[in-house]
Each structure stands twice: as C-alpha cells, then as structure tokens.
Chain A
C-alpha cells in the first residue's frame, strides 16, 4: 500500500490564482519532501462564458462587473506581478477569454491515459502564457497532439463529449464539499486549504498529515 498523501485539487484553467497556487503547492510539496499523489478536479468559474467571447479578459471583467477599464487593467497588472514572483510570465494582452468546459474534458481524457498532470500544466500555460485558445476543439486537439496524444482519438472524445460527465461529477463533488472558490486543496480527504496559500502552509499541512499517518 502506498504511503503517498492524496491531494485533490479543484481548479479552473482560466483561474489566475490556480496557476499561482499550483506553483506554491509544488514548492510546499517539495519542501515537505514526502510522497504526494495529486489529482486535479474540474471547476467551472464562468460556465456561461461563450467559447468565442469577443474581447480581452479586461473587457470581460469590465462588462461583467461594471468596473472601470483602468481599474481592471490595474488589477490584471497586479496579478501579473504576483505571477512573476512565482516564475510565471502571464501575458494578459494575448489571453483568449473563453468557456473552459471542453478543456476540462481534455484533462479528464488525459487522466484516462494516466497523464492528467502533464495536460493540466500545459493548458494553464496555453491560457496564461502562450496566448492559445483553450475553448475550441481544434485548438485543444493541437495541444494534445503536441503532447503526443492520438489526434483522432482526442477529436472523437471531445466531439462526443465523452468526459463531460466526469467534469460535471467533479463540479458536483465540489458542491458537496462546499467549495465556492478555487484553487481548493483537499489533503488526505480531511484538511481543506483554500486559495493560493504560501508554500509553507502546504508544507505544514502535509507534514501534519504525515505525522498523523505515522501515529495511526
């Protein structure tokens, strides 16, 4: 039986704090040093967003929240600065605001092949850093093909929405846990950690769980 500590992470592809939180969690897990098994779960922050939203993330926020454009731009600039502090080069000028449900389906497809973590990282990079579209099937297939997945198989899975049920089950599970925001980390099915916490916080919780398992 594995001694790995299970960490379930709810996250959305277009959530800036999820990518930042991912880096902080990874740093915390490295500091902890023990074995950790990560599984990502889907969370849709804005399921009503059109796939081809006509505008930038700044336009989206300004329209949705009625915020002045200069305030939105300042917010994005601050997030970009915080992302840079964990080594992520966010490029909001080229981000394509979109609906992420099919990208979640692709993450589940990759999970069925035992490669979920690789796909999750690649899609976050696609959205925040590379300015790639993560809402359209052809764009997602191209990303999957680049990672070595079979194009025809990915296309078929996404076009028939074979993994949509898995996405919806993740969202329902989040609701059962009472998760309202992401990133959200469930550690060993017992501890809940909300948001892009500092690496030390993750290291401490993992060490706590490790100690509890050792004492059991």
Chain B
C-alpha cells in the first residue's frame, strides 16, 4: 500500500485518542452541556 502524503480534511478539533489518552474537545463538552440543559427543561 502506497503512503502518498494525505490531504487532511475535516474539523482539526475532532475527538480522537492519542497514546493512552482520549481528549474531549471543547465543542463536544459544550454539546453535552447543552443536551443536559435541554433535558432539564423537559
């Protein structure tokens, strides 16, 4: 399989795991907070 240089696309802040640690990007945290607020309203 050739490994030509890749064109990187998409959100550079998307959540991923590096090493033994998996970061939660800020916008994901905000999305969860928003969902929690929404469910509180219901």
Contact = CB atoms under 8 A, between A and B. Distances in A.
Interface of A: 8, 12, 15-18, 20-21, 45-46, 49, 60-61, 64-65, 75, 78-79, 81-82, 85, 173, 176-178, 180-184, 186, 189-198, 201, 205
Contacts of B32: 78, 81-82
A194 B16 contact: yes
Interface residues of B, number: 28
Given A78-B32, A182-B17, A192 B9 contact: yes
B40 interface: no
Contacts of A75: 24
Interface of B: 1-4, 6-22, 24, 28-29, 31-32, 35-36
B24 A195 contact: no
A176 B9 CA distance: 18
B28 A15 contact: no
14 contacts: A17-B22, A45-B18, A45-B20, A60-B20, A64-B20, A81-B35, A82-B15, A82-B31, A85-B35, A173-B3, A189-B2, A191-B6, A194-B16, A198-B11
